[in-house]
Amino acid sequence: MTAWDPSSATPVYNASLSSRWVASTSTSREEISTGASFWDTTGSSGVDSLPAPILPPCAPAPPTHILLDPRLENVKVQAKVTSVDYKDKQLVVWGTVLAGRRRIVHAVRGAVKDLMGATVVLEVLNATRTDSHLVVINGEHTGTFVRRVTHEGTGANSIAVCRVVVLNEGSMDTVTDRELKLPATDLALIKKTDKEKKANRNVLFVERNTAQKRC
């Protein structure tokens, strides 16, 4: 059998052929989906006609940056940005739809500026100390708002023990009974106003004291 030359064809997945990749240089995806060129759907060959194969749905490509995930749309987080205008500059950034496309942006004198082409690195929190507003940025809970109560483990292996909260603009968060245990890399710091910080100064105070007494 002649080895397949990757430069000569585009591999097309066909579930009917033993789940193998089938190379085709002239057959379009539409032809494959209707069975043309591979299946006799008319029965003219004298054998039983085969049903047209059903291609698996194309999975959406993952976002090139976590802030482009729709679950994090318009969530303002702290990050360090490097671009033609900035060098490792700490900024408040967020993902949004700009001119019909998902972009990472920040504000400059009240105007939204696109950060296309920039390197945007989310600030990493301390799982043993950070008691700020947080948002989950990885896994099934992406987009969920939390606040840290305590932690488990030590050093780089520390896990933040968090309570899920509902953010209330300008006032204290609503704390729920849901608990999530997450590494620092799965969390990002949310930018809050001074008024919101003041309103949440004592949120989870009792829970944190109780957790400290258990240690």
Structure tokens at 59: 């999975």
Question: Which range, of 46-50, 68-72, 178-182, averages the lowest pLDDT?
Answer: 46-50
Single-letter code of the amino acid located at 116: M
pLDDT given at position 168: 87
Residue 30 has pLDDT above 70, yes or no: no
Single-letter code of the amino acid located at 159: I
User: How is the chain split into domains, by residue range?
Assistant: 9-55, 66-122, 133-214
Share of the chain above pLDDT 90, in %: 47
d(CA 150, CA 209): 9
pLDDT given at position 39: 38
| SS3 letters across 115-144 | CCCCEEEECCCCCCCCCCEEEECCCCCCCC
pLDDT tens profile 122-170? 998 999 988 889 999 999 999 999 999 999 998 888 999 999 999 888 7
pLDDT given at position 213: 65
Closest Cα partner for 180 from 139, 210, 212, 214? 139
Structure tokens at 190: 């949310």
- CA-based torsion, 155, 161, 165, 168: positive or negative: negative
Contacts of residue 45, Cβ cutoff 8 Å, sequence gap at least 6: none
**What is the distance of C-alpha 74 from the center of its chain?**
13
Residue 172 has pLDDT above 60, yes or no: yes
Contacts of residue 212, Cβ cutoff 8 Å, sequence gap at least 6: 150
Question: Which range, of 24-28, 74-78, 121-125, averages the lowest pLDDT?
Answer: 24-28
Structure tokens at 205: 């105070």
